[in-house]
Amino acid sequence: MDREGVPPSLPLVPFPHKAEAFSSWLFRLAARYDLHADHLALHAGYPLRGARELDCYLLPQADRTLALMTGLSHYSIRAMRCGTPQRRLWVRDHHVWCRECVREALLDGDEPWERRSWRTGATVLCGRHRQFLEEVCPRCGRTGAGCLFICEKGRLRALCAVRGDKINLWGKPLAVQLPWGLVVNRMTLRCLNALTTDLNRSLVGQPLRAQWRGVGSDRRLTAIVEELTLITLITINYVPKPQPPLYWMQEQSDWKAAFHYTPAMLPMALATGVLMLASILLSDEQFFEELVFWDPLESQIANEPLTADNYVVWLHPKVRRWGRQIVAAPFGP
């Protein structure tokens, strides 16, 4: 009998960690049988999309089958999702991690596993350790190769997918240089954490905890941050080239109209900068304890107050009016 009182049909079932992503648990489950998580998901009745795509899709029949196979409750499996199909573009396509969190798991004799919050582009900092999430393998220097979460001998191991050997997590991560002279301090950290919390809540349809400019019954916080992301990318002339899943495009009546740039598509430092700008510009500045300074011209000296007016002046002329509408909108909901 397993911890939830249902006899599982699979003899070895790792229990999900609190706040673990569904795909992370599925990879750990598949590792017990030296299977790939994609194959296990297909056996349970999920469509052939890849296990990591299931983090934002609820498929009740397949979820019930997996519950019978593992002995977990249907609710437990459902609760591990980190978004909805409509918010798929907010889910990262590659692994990111907090070095301290992974190190603690390994010291406890556990295996590396992913938090739900790490899967979304709304999260760039570890809330527990207050350090940036990493995306570059310390061993091979690559992003998106699947390193650190490799199946070997019935468990996930902190191995390099490219070189095949162990990853050393005991040193300090490389320093992250944020754009526009932004720095993490008490003020910016408070704003960033508040925005991260509410973005993640918005992704799963939960009510927000704070008020943000422009948010209303017909306008979601995620949509506003998507617009700020776009006008910022236009201003710095940076155009990422994400590859939305084919099935997602096929599900849209007009996928080009449904597509929006999100922080999940950006390198970690740039995503952090965009979210930090959004967290400050969409907050009520009267509650700020101190000014936030930035360096929009990248002159190496952050000596200009970050205000709505200064941000709008910095924007590309083609999007200034749009930016002004965003940062001058009333608070809601």
User: Could you tell me what percent of the chain has a pLDDT over 70?
Assistant: 97
How far is 151 from 154, CA to CA, in rounded Å? 7
Report residue 8's pLDDT band, with 50, 70 and 90 as the boundaries.
Answer: low
Query: What's the average model confidence in pLDDT over 153-177?
Result: 92
Which residue bears the tokens 């390994």? 106
According to the model, what pLDDT value does residue 286 have? Answer: 73
Pairing outcome for strands 293-294 and 155-157: unpaired
Q: How would you classify the pairing of strands 212-213 and 304-305?
A: unpaired
Question: Is residue 206's pLDDT more than 60?
Answer: yes
Cα 10 from chain centre? 31
Share of the chain above pLDDT 90, in %: 77
Contacts of 294 (CB under 8 A, 6+ apart): 180, 181, 182, 302, 304, 305, 306
The residue behind tokens 């919050």 is 117
Tell me the mean pLDDT in the region 285-291: 79
For 210-231, what is the mean pLDDT? 95
What angle do helix axes 268-281 and 186-203 make, rounded to 10 degrees?
A: 100
**pTM, rounded to two decimals:** 0.92
Domain boundaries, the chain: 22-81, 179-332
50 or 92, which is more confident: 92
User: pLDDT averaged over the chain?
Assistant: 92
Which residue would you say has higher pLDDT here, 290 or 26?
26
Largest CA distance in the chain: 65
265, 130, 127, 271: CA torsion to nearest 10: -10
Q: Is residue 202 over pLDDT 50?
A: yes
Statement: residue 199 has pLDDT above 80: yes
pLDDT category at 10 given cuts 50, 70, 90 is very high
Helices (H), the chain: 22-31, 37-43, 60-70, 74-79, 99-107, 116-119, 186-203, 221-236, 246-251, 255-258, 268-281, 308-314, 320-327
| Per-residue pLDDT, 3 | 47
